[in-house]
A and B are shown apart, each in its own frame.
Chain A
Amino acid sequence: MDNIIEVKNVTMKFNMAKEKVDSLKEYFIKLVKKQLMFDEFIALENISFNVKRGDVFGIVGLNGSGKSTLLKIISRILKPTSGSVICNGSVSPLIELGAGFDIDLTARENIFLNGSVLGYTKKQMSDKFDEIVEFSELQDFLDVPIKNFSSGMVARLGFSIATITKPDILIVDEILSVGDFLFQQKCEKRIEDLMSDGTTVLMVSHSLNQIRQLCKNVLWLEKGHMKMIGGVQEVCDAYENNA
Chain B
Amino acid sequence: MNKYLVNFYHYVHLLQNLIVRDLKVKYRRSVLGFLWSILNPLLMMLVITAVFQNIFRMNIDNFPIYYLTGSLIFNFMSEATSLAMTSVLSSASLIKKVYIPKYIFPLEKCLFAFVNMLFSSVAVIIMFFVLHYKITWMALLFFVPMIFTLIFSIGLGLILSAADVFFRDIGHLYSVWITAWMYLTPVIYPMETLTAGMKNIMKFNPMFYYVDYFRQVVMYNNIPGLNFNLICFAFSFAFLFLGLLIFKLKQDKFILYI
Enumerate chain A residues within 8 angstroms of B169, measured Cβ to Cβ.
23-25
| B248 close to chain A: CB less than 8 A | no
Enumerate chain A residues within 8 angstroms of B170, measured Cβ to Cβ.
24
| B61 close to chain A: CB less than 8 A | no
| B100 close to chain A: CB less than 8 A | yes
Enumerate chain A residues within 8 angstroms of B97, measured Cβ to Cβ.
77, 93, 95-96, 99-100
Q: With A23-B167, A100-B94 in contact, do A117 and B28 touch (Cβ < 8 Å)? A: no
Interface of B is mostly: helix
Please determine whether A99 and B94 come into contact, CB atoms closer than 8 angstroms: yes
Contact with A along B64-86 (1 / 0, CB 8 A): 00000000000000000000000
| B17 close to chain A: CB less than 8 A | yes
Please determine whether B93 and A116 come into contact, CB atoms closer than 8 angstroms: no
Please determine whether A109 and B24 come into contact, CB atoms closer than 8 angstroms: yes
| A79 close to chain B: CB less than 8 A | yes
Q: With A100-B94, A104-B25 in contact, do A77 and B99 touch (Cβ < 8 Å)? A: yes
Partner of B10, one of A25, A113, A119: A119
Contact with A along B8-44 (1 / 0, CB 8 A): 0011011011100100110010000000000000000
| A180 close to chain B: CB less than 8 A | no
| A75 close to chain B: CB less than 8 A | yes
A78 nearest CB across to chain B (Å): 6
Enumerate chain B residues within 8 angstroms of A15, measured Cβ to Cβ.
256
Q: List 14 A–B pairs whose Cβ atoms lie within 8 Å, in order of A's numbering.
A: A14-B256, A22-B257, A77-B98, A77-B255, A95-B97, A99-B97, A99-B98, A100-B93, A112-B17, A116-B17, A117-B94, A117-B100, A119-B10, A121-B13
The chain B residues found within 8 Å of chain A, CB to CB, are 10-11, 13-14, 16-18, 21, 24-25, 28, 93-100, 166-170, 252, 255-257
The chain A residues found within 8 Å of chain B, CB to CB, are 14-15, 22-25, 27, 75-79, 91, 93, 95-96, 99-100, 102, 104-105, 109, 112-113, 116-119, 121-122
